[in-house]
A and B are shown apart, each in its own frame.
Chain A
Amino acid sequence: MDATAAKLLGAGLAAIGMGIAALGVGNVFAAFLEGALRNPGAADGQQGRLFIGFAGAELLGLLAFVTMIILVFVA
């Protein structure tokens, strides 16, 4: 396999990571909504934690994106 093909395949594989991070972000908000509907009174106080969880899950998807960009444009 020549190097360009391997690079592009790697970039494509990195895109899987972004899809999985999407699952993670969806999971964060789904769990929050589930809890918030059971106890709406406590929901507002937990929004900060919601976004911390969101940021953590999102970061891993963004890292996959960085890997992809580096493979396509830099490496």
Chain B
Amino acid sequence: MAAEGGKIDPMHQFLIEPVLGQRWVVGGYDLSFTNSALWMVITLVTLWLFMLGGMKRELVPGRWQAAVEGFTGFVQNMLTSNVGPEGKRFVPYVFSLFMFILFANILGLMPVGIVPGWHPFTITSHLTVTGVLAIISFSIVLIVGFGKHGFHFFSLFVPHGTPVLMIPLIFVVELLSFLVRPFSLGLRLFVAMTAGHILLKVLAAFVINGLNMGVGYAAIISLPSLVLMIGITLLELLVAAIQAYVFALLTSVYLNDAVNLH
């Protein structure tokens, strides 16, 4: 894909196009079933199967149930250690968020391309998707914060012990750092995924172009690139897990601000 005619085109993999070949335009809006939508469905079905296989309530958990309980316990532990006992209310949301991002990231790295006609698509490599996830998190923080504390929520922007002279300045700085949170949250996930996939595609193009140029080039270009690619793929698996964790962790930290106000 990337190496057609020897030209490296690492951005083509992020193109959103209709799966069924034709666009379906309703009232000026393009509502076609795109590859992005398809991979969201695949992520959802995988997640659903994973949870359904493990939610068994057996006294002695099997391997599958232990895996699911490991994830739920992990998220619950993260929330209770960051938000406190009230964090349990947010376990369903943060768990869905964490699992969706984790599965989407890992499914995007799967070698689906070996099946002819199929291309893996990482839905989290688009700012539209991660941005909406970040906005949902931020809205929940705002709703919880204002619902629980009312206008007292604004005291979040003035830390304890601030000198009176400094309050106007600190308020503006804290407000800015609060308002920039959804952007940084969405941008981080999107860019981390995009950067990794561009790097992998460029290395893959090196391998293919080297092979096309003959045995000598294959030995000095393709082989080292392939070895590097295997290493980077393992690193990307780690990044996929870390980014899902960081997104869930930062959401729970922000929830802590909303629930406990410093």
Contacts from A to B (Cβ < 8 Å): 45, 48, 51-52, 54-55, 58-59, 62-63, 65-66, 69, 73
Give CA–CA (A63, B250) in the complex, Å.
Answer: 18
Among listed B60-68, B92-100, B186-194, interface-contacting one: B186-194
Give CA–CA (A69, B191) in the complex, Å.
Answer: 10
A48-B82, A51-B242 are contacts. A62–B192 as well, Cβ < 8 Å? Answer: yes
Contacting residue for B249 out of A45, A48, A62, A69, CB 8 A: A48
B187, A66: Cβ atoms under 8 Å?
yes
Tell me which residues across on chain A come within 8 A of B188, comparing CB atoms: 55, 58-59, 62
B184, A51: Cβ atoms under 8 Å?
no
Measured between C-beta atoms, what is the minimum distance from B74 to chain A in Å? 11
Please name the 3 residue pairs, one residue from A and one from B, whose CB atoms are nearest each other, closest first.
A62-B191, A55-B246, A59-B188
Give CA–CA (A15, B192) in the complex, Å.
Answer: 15
B245, A59: Cβ atoms under 8 Å?
no
B78, B187, B195 interface centre (most CB from chain A within 10 Å): B195
Give CA–CA (A66, B130) in the complex, Å.
Answer: 15
| Cross-chain pairs A/B with CB under 8 angstroms, 27 sampled | A45-B81, A48-B81, A48-B82, A48-B249, A48-B253, A51-B242, A51-B245, A51-B246, A51-B249, A52-B249, A52-B250, A52-B253, A54-B242, A54-B246, A55-B188, A55-B249, A55-B250, A58-B192, A59-B184, A59-B188, A62-B187, A62-B192, A63-B187, A65-B191, A66-B187, A69-B194, A73-B11
Measured between C-beta atoms, what is the minimum distance from A68 to chain B in Å? 10
Tell me which residues across on chain A come within 8 A of B82, comparing CB atoms: 48
Give CA–CA (A45, B82) in the complex, Å.
Answer: 11
Give CA–CA (A69, B78) in the complex, Å.
Answer: 34
Q: Which residue of A lies closest to B195 (CB)?
A: A65
B249, A66: Cβ atoms under 8 Å?
no
Tell me which residues across on chain A come within 8 A of B249, comparing CB atoms: 48, 51-52, 55
Give CA–CA (A59, B188) in the complex, Å.
Answer: 6
Tell me which residues across on chain A come within 8 A of B11, comparing CB atoms: 73
Tell me which residues across on chain B come within 8 A of A63, comparing CB atoms: 187, 191
Tell me which residues across on chain A come within 8 A of B245, comparing CB atoms: 51
A55-B246, A66-B187, A73-B11 are contacts. A48–B78 as well, Cβ < 8 Å? Answer: yes
Give CA–CA (A34, B65) in the complex, Å.
Answer: 37
0/1 string, B225-262, CB within 8 A of A gives 1:
00000000000000000100110011001000000000
Measured between C-beta atoms, what is the minimum distance from B236 to chain A in Å? 14
Q: Which residue of A lies closest to B250 (CB)?
A: A55
